Amino acid sequence: MTLYLDSADVGEARLAAELGFVAGVTTNPAIMAKVCRPAEEVIADLCAILPGTIFHQVISAPGPNLEAEIERFRAISAQVAFKIPCTLEYLRVAYGLVQQGLIVAVTAVYSAAQAYLAAQAGAHYVLPYVNRATRLCGDGPALVAEIAGVLSGSSCEILAASIKSPTEAADTLLAGAEHLTVPWEVLSAMAEHPLTKLALDEFARSLEGG
């Protein structure tokens, strides 16, 4: 059960690294766009900050441009893994990368059938978009449960993304996800609860009274 930071923000990565238990970082084109820096520079910085796996999501279409993109990012660090969208053409690419010994995660998975094909391609992870699936399809954790059922017994694991709240994170784990990637604000919120604060306040008052 592994926790990743879903961010391209170097400052947030440093905060995550200070915690000690965040395994790595996942990125995607949308969050890369927010930092307004070349993706190669961002990935290199993230590799220097956290010792674990740093996921780069490819943006080129299958073909020579994608091959060149993969080689550029592969050259940055052995920490770099690749997020590959779930289409038939990209799954062929995923299979080839796995054969080369690279870590591959198939992303934007919205059905158990897609997850099954990703597993057949040898992907190490599938990334269902939980909150987005809830908004567009009705029940993101239910999708995770379906995928978990299909992948049972395989070596392909669920790395759930698009997590927008602590409750959604817990529901996703209960549905069968082995790993989560969450934004910094969600990670921070997961550590908080009003009753925890109440208990700490009560302890503090007891000490003052003593």
In tens, the pLDDT along 4-42 reads: 999 999 999 999 999 999 999 999 999 999 999 999 999
pLDDT in tens, 47-74: 999 999 999 999 999 999 999 999 999 9
pTM of the predicted structure, to 2 decimals: 0.94
Q: Percentage of residues in the chain with pLDDT exceeding 90?
A: 92
Query: Is there a catalytic annotation at residue 164?
Result: no
Is residue 149 within 8 Å of residue 112, measured between CB atoms? yes
Tally: H helices and E strands in the chain: 11, 8
Q: What is the DSSP letter of 155?
A: S
When the candidates are 3.30.1600.10, 3.20.20.70, 3.30.9.10, 1.20.1440.230, the CATH number that belongs to 2-209 is 3.20.20.70
Residue whose C-alpha is closest to residue 182's, from 105, 127, 101: 127
Question: What's the CA gap between 105 and 26, in Å, rounded?
Answer: 10
